Amino acid sequence: MIAGRLVRNDPAQYDLLVDEWWRPAGGFAALHWLAASRAEHIPPAASPDAVLVDLACGGGLMAPHVARLGYRHVGVDLGLPGLLLAREHGVLPVQGSVLGVPLADGCADVVVAGEILEHVEDDVAVLAECARLLRPGGTLVIDALADTWLSRFVMVTVLEHVSGGAPPGLHDPALFVDRQRLLAAADRLGLDLRLVGLWPSMREAVAWRLGRRETVRMRPLRSTAVVFAGYGRKR
């Protein structure tokens, strides 16, 4: 924060926007859509003790999906207001940094790192924490914003000025993710990871904006140049 003014990517913004988390038509609407998309790539829990670690869990939007899949849901975040809200939705909250998660090696059957890699200066360090937390054979699901001119134009220049887009200042395009570097790091860390592009169904997005739908499905794209997801396992 500078002279009482929030700068781009300031984590304090999430504390100020805490009331937006569970508003399906609010400032975090697209995060609801992404949460549902992540859940499609998580297998049902193999046992009642299976653990899903949700990095940068915010207000806990993964909670209903994780409960349905049968995991114990552990949410890690820096922001206390979001964690308290997540706890109300059944998440076991852990306050801490995604760059140094205060959990044991190999504790997780699934790690989800959604919309966090583009908010840290060392995205590879976050990926290393994902690998450390996962047991062998465990599932990894990520999503992030690509380091491309198109992503900067769409996510910042356009969507920050459109109703229903990302709140202004939430992203710093200097931190958007280099996909090739991420894939190379994943291989070094023992993670088999594939990337796919994501974009909301435009037909459903129009219906949502008109109040005719409560949610919007994320569709896979060949291009990973704007929003992308990564699905993989620890070797």
**What is the distance between the alpha carbons of residues 133 and 130, in angstroms, rounded to a whole number?**
5
Mean pLDDT of 6-20: 87
Mean pLDDT of 64-81: 97
Record the tokens describing residue 83, joined without a space: 């964690």
pLDDT, residue 164, reads 62
Instruction: Tell whether the model's pLDDT for residue 70 goes beyond 70.
Output: yes
The count of structural domains within the chain is 1
On whether residue 2 sits in a domain, the answer given is: no
Mean confidence (pLDDT) of the chain = 94
Mean pLDDT of 173-179: 97
**What is the crossing angle of helices 123-133 and 179-188, to 10°?**
30
Considering only residues 14 and 112, tell me which one the structure prediction assigns the higher pLDDT.
112
On whether residue 3 sits in a domain, the answer given is: no
Instruction: Tell whether the model's pLDDT for residue 43 goes beyond 60.
Output: yes
Instruction: Tell whether the model's pLDDT for residue 3 goes beyond 70.
Output: no
Owning domain of residue 225? 12-234
Mean pLDDT of 152-165: 84
pLDDT, residue 163, reads 63
β-strand partners of 192:
233
Region of 148 on the Ramachandran plot (φ > 0 left; ψ -120 to 50 alpha; else beta): beta
The pTM for the full model equals 0.94
On whether residue 72 sits in a domain, the answer given is: yes
pLDDT, residue 1, reads 37
Q: Above pLDDT 90, what percent of the chain?
A: 85
Winning range, highest mean pLDDT, from 26-30, 125-129, 208-212: 125-129
On whether residue 17 sits in a domain, the answer given is: yes
pLDDT 10s digits, 197-229? 999 999 999 999 899 999 999 999 999 999 999
On whether residue 1 sits in a domain, the answer given is: no
CATH number at residue 183: 3.40.50.150
Q: CB of 77 within 8 A of CB of 57?
A: yes
Instruction: Tell whether the model's pLDDT for residue 7 goes beyond 90.
Output: no
**What is the distance between the alpha carbons of residues 103 and 176, in angstroms, rounded to a whole number?**
26
On whether residue 157 sits in a domain, the answer given is: yes
pLDDT, residue 125, reads 98
On whether residue 6 sits in a domain, the answer given is: no
On whether residue 7 sits in a domain, the answer given is: no
- The closest alpha carbon to 150, from 212, 226, 57, 203, belongs to 226
Q: Above pLDDT 70, what percent of the chain?
A: 96
Residue 2 pLDDT level (bands cut at 50, 70, 90): very low
**What is the distance between the alpha carbons of residues 23 and 19, in angstroms, rounded to a whole number?**
8
